[in-house]
Amino acid sequence: MIGPILGREWLVSPRRMRFYAQRVVFVAALFSLVCTMWLLLAGMQQIRNVGDLSRFGSLAFQLVAPMELVVVMFLAAVATASSVSQEKDRRTLILLLLTRLTSTQIVMGKHLAAMLGIANIVVASLPLLLLISLMGGVSIQQVFSVLAIVLVTALVCASLGTVVGFWREKTFQTLAVTLLAITAWCVLGEVIANGVWPMLAPSWAEAISPFRAVLNVCQPLPSNHWQNISGGVTAVYSVFGFGLSAVLCSIAISQLRVWNPSRELRLQAPESDDAADATEALGTRSWKVRAPRPMWKNPVLWREMRTWAYGRKLLFIRLSYVVLFLLAVGSLYWSVASGAALQRSRLTTELIPVATKILAPFFVVSLVMLNALAVNSITNERDGQALDLLLVTQISPSSFLLGKLLGVLYVAKEMVMLPLVLCIYLWWQGGLSTENLVFTVAGLLVLDIFVAILGIHCGMNYGLSRTAIGTSLGTVFFLLLGVVVCMMIMISFRGSFSRQLPPFLVIILGGGTGLFVALGNRNPSPAIALAAFSLPFLTFFSITSFILRNQELTVFSVIVTAYGFASLAMLIPALSEFDFAIDQSRAAEDES
């Protein structure tokens, strides 16, 4: 029924080293997180009885379970979306459509093949969750409930990535639409939970939003809204998730041969001589004889800014992003009108200001989409077999690199400018001082340039497009996720910087090693090594300074120095010569 696509993946996946490396790294990261929390707890108080262990187990479970959910959602969506997009970029999807494979076998084969790796890491994390339950405060039922919610959420995200991948013809369009759809899903859950939607009770958020469902299950005393149903909120959410996944897969199966091949790839039959003579008699001009368009001195920048290099459906992505921006504006306006965004939160009650809770998720989405566009600007050239042509032209490395960088910033100008508009609006309402506005705007611009250069760097240093996209997006995602996790741990275990630094050294060193492997894969250098190992530590220092308050200049200086130096470490070597990973044998080895 499923077909040979899943069968091949089932046989080939255990032969790949990354099949085992993924679950080892994932479980090791979760275990290091638990160890960090234990060292923080042991350094702040004495563990005297079973009650202390139970409180630690409950708190650790409430931090580990949402983190696992976020990671699995990201991996499932990116894995399926990039897998389908790679078939389109290499023009191999057309070959699949010409075979005897049915639409169900193609769609479900790609969908379930990508789910093999996700299920691998989720099942591998089960012993660690059971180990946490041995400390107390967490039941076995809660562990398996979280496992079920994570697997169902991965199935929904994979289905979403599959249907969008078959629908859109460009890789960036696929990744952007998938990311915006997942963001809208999470925002919908929060809207329902806050009672903004009068048609649904707030309790329905636990049956729709994966985060609300996991948080409900992780609580020592879960809510009583779904106690009358066998299985509770886990059963209700699982039914919703399976239904949503079935609907998405059905749409992809029914529209597969309608969407593919794309109209941009459908060849038109040549006109006959009589039709050509008739056209000339009418005095019309065909596209073959129209006047050439004037080109700039930098043709790469001209192509990025003056043509539809990423497809005409980019307007749809911009419109969706503007809708997300309007939601952020509405939330910020409501918080300003109620006075919550203008009140200075106190360390004893609330560490993170209300405005930060609204702006930070919007900034994260903007940075991830900008990075996705940057890495696709290089992988599209490679998949379209245009890199070989560029290398034999008179285009210099600096012209190519600066053309791509400025072109990406221009195409994604909404992702660059609209976050700044939110900051200016908050300053206009009195929520930010002029000094802090300058710090915030300058820091955002530095981060925008960093993620854009990171995307171009990964696109140039990885010969396989799917590996380049996964490494680039993974670096940005896990760097930002590390910030969130550190803030959650520091909020839960309050203490001085000197007490918190030693336990966090494991995460800092592990993150630095991962960054060095990702950034210095082909051409390691002392500058990249210094940037990779200093970024986690300096980011941790910035988080601590932000929480302590009245150290805005310190946070700004550290962020600009750290990420600015990392950007230069990746940018300067690429300006001197073309250095692309185009070794086909290596790409084939990575693929197998």
DSSP string covering 45-67: S---SHHHHHHHHHHHHHHHHHH
Return the top range by mean pLDDT from 284-288, 290-294, 567-571: 567-571
pLDDT of residue 244: 94
Count, residues in the chain = 592
The rounded distance, in Å, linking the Cα atoms of 387 and 216 is 51
Residue with tokens 């990575």: 590
Do 85 and 470 form a contact (C-beta atoms < 8 A)? no
pLDDT of residue 451: 93
Range 412-418 average pLDDT: 92
Q: Band of the pLDDT at 45, cuts 50, 70, 90?
A: low
| Choice among 150-159, 524-533, 574-583 with the minimum mean pLDDT | 574-583
pLDDT of residue 498: 60
pLDDT of residue 340: 55
Rounded percentage of the chain residues whose pLDDT exceeds 70? 85
For residues 369 and 89, the model is more confident at: 369
Range 274-298 average pLDDT: 58
The rounded distance, in Å, linking the Cα atoms of 188 and 182 is 10
Specify whether the backbone of 231 is left (phi greater than 0), alpha (psi in -120 to 50) or beta: left
Q: Band of the pLDDT at 588, cuts 50, 70, 90?
A: very low
Judged against a pLDDT cut of 50, whether residue 488 lies above it is answered with yes
Distances (CA, A) of 97 to 107, 112, 114, 144, 256: 11, 18, 19, 40, 9
| Choice among 91-105, 137-151, 289-303, 366-380 with the minimum mean pLDDT | 289-303
Quick: pLDDT tens for 425-464.
888 888 788 888 899 899 999 999 999 999 999 988 887 7
**Containing H/E element for 22?**
helix 17-44
Q: Band of the pLDDT at 153, cuts 50, 70, 90?
A: very high
Helices (H), 45-139: 50-89, 93-98, 103-124, 126-134
Q: Band of the pLDDT at 284, cuts 50, 70, 90?
A: very low
Residue with tokens 């019309």: 284
Supply 24's token pair.
Answer: 């080892």
pLDDT of residue 233: 87
Q: Band of the pLDDT at 513, cuts 50, 70, 90?
A: confident
Helix axes 50-89, 140-167, angle to 10 degrees: 20
pLDDT of residue 2: 66
Judged against a pLDDT cut of 90, whether residue 392 lies above it is answered with no
Radius of gyration of the chain (CA): 25
Q: Dihedral (C-alpha) 434, 437, 438, 439: value to the nearest 10 degrees? A: 120
pLDDT of residue 126: 93
Residue with tokens 């056209």: 279
pLDDT of residue 262: 66
pLDDT of residue 195: 74
For residues 262 and 36, the model is more confident at: 36
| Choice among 343-352, 368-377, 383-392, 471-480 with the minimum mean pLDDT | 343-352
SS (H, E, C) 302-317: HHHHHCCCCCCCHHHH
pLDDT of residue 269: 46
pLDDT of residue 57: 87
pLDDT of residue 587: 43
The rounded distance, in Å, linking the Cα atoms of 52 and 57 is 9
Nearest CA-CA partner of 81 in 152, 149, 182: 182
Q: Band of the pLDDT at 95, cuts 50, 70, 90?
A: confident
Judged against a pLDDT cut of 50, whether residue 332 lies above it is answered with yes
Q: What is the DSSP string of 520-573?
A: TSSS--HHHHHHHHHHHHHHHHHHHHHHH-S-HHHHHHHHHHHHHHHHHHHHHH
pLDDT of residue 592: 46
Residues 6+ apart with CB under 8 A from 449: 405, 409, 567
Mean pLDDT estimate for the chain? 81
Residue with tokens 């195409």: 411
Q: Band of the pLDDT at 548, cuts 50, 70, 90?
A: low
Judged against a pLDDT cut of 50, whether residue 586 lies above it is answered with no
Judged against a pLDDT cut of 60, whether residue 584 lies above it is answered with no
Rounded percentage of the chain residues whose pLDDT exceeds 90? 23
Judged against a pLDDT cut of 70, whether residue 205 lies above it is answered with yes
